[in-house]
């Protein structure tokens, strides 16, 4: 029996899921060629593989692919459609660019996805809430100040888009 999830708004068979041991990250990257979620630690600790499952941030490297059957999965590639923007980027993605919040960029997927999840739950987070939300994502490049500013800017951009 083939399992199907909705990935970035499209019904999508989960081909590797039948093996029982395939992770969501493996299916997204290897079977669906979606490179937004990154392989970092493989233990669910670094956040590089973060995706949204039914709107909630989740670590794709530790989720069995079978576990998302019938659920909605959003990756970095699916964010623009999620907010209905014609610009080609989600406001969070644009804010990270505007604030130059990346150095090597490896953590960026996780930071962006966590920021989207936060701003969808709490459109007006204070700095402490942003820091708490992103504290589980590892970044060794030292761009934390820029990342915080990017999330604050994204909150404003998302509010303007709603107006």
The C-alpha atoms of residue 136 and residue 93 are separated, in whole angstroms, by 19
- List, in sequence order, every residue forming a beta bridge with 72; answer none if it has no partner: 6
Question: Is 81 within 8 Å of 90 (Cβ atoms)?
Answer: no
Please report how the helices 127-134 and 144-162 are oriented relative to each other, as an axis angle in degrees rounded to 10. Answer: 110
* Pairwise CA distance, residues 7 & 133, whole Å: 24
Which domains does the chain possess? 4-78 (3.10.20.30), 79-162 (1.10.150.120)
Tokens coding 10 = 């499209």
For the chain, give the number of residues: 163
What is the Cα–Cα distance from 112 to 37, expressed in whole angstroms? 11
Stretch 43-52: mean pLDDT? 95
Q: What is the pLDDT of residue 142?
A: 77
Residues 119-133 have pLDDT tens digits of 999 999 999 999 999
Band (pLDDT 50/70/90 cuts) for residue 139 is confident
Where does the pLDDT of residue 2 fall: very low under 50, low under 70, confident under 90, or very high at 90 and above?
confident
Work out the angle at residue 138's Cα, subtended by the Cα atoms of residues 36 and 48, and round it to the nearest 5 degrees. 20
Interhelix angle 108-121/127-134, nearest 10 degrees: 130
- Residue 144: band (very low, low, confident or very high) from pLDDT cuts 50, 70, 90: confident
Task: Name the DSSP class of 91.
Answer: H
SS3 state at 11: strand
Which pTM was predicted?
A: 0.91
């Amino acid at each position: 029996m083939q399992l199907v999830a909705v990935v970035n708004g499209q019904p999508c068979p989960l081909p590797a899921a039948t093996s029982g041991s395939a992770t969501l990250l493996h299916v997204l990257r290897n079977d669906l060629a979606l490179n937004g979620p990154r392989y970092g630690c493989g233990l669910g600790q670094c956040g590089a593989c973060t995706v949204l499952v039914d709107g909630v941030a989740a670590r794709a490297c530790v989720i069995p692919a079978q576990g998302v059957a019938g659920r909605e999965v959003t990756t970095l590639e699916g964010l623009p459609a999620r907010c209905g923007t014609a610009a080609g980027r989600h406001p969070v993605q644009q804010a990270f660019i505007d604030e130059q919040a990346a150095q090597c960029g490896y953590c960026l997927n996780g930071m962006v996805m966590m920021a989207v999840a936060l701003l969808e739950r709490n459109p007006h987070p204070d700095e402490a809430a942003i820091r708490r939300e992103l504290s589980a994502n590892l970044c060794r490049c030292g761009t934390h100040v820029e990342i915080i500013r990017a999330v604050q800017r994204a909150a404003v951009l998302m509010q303007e888009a709603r107006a």
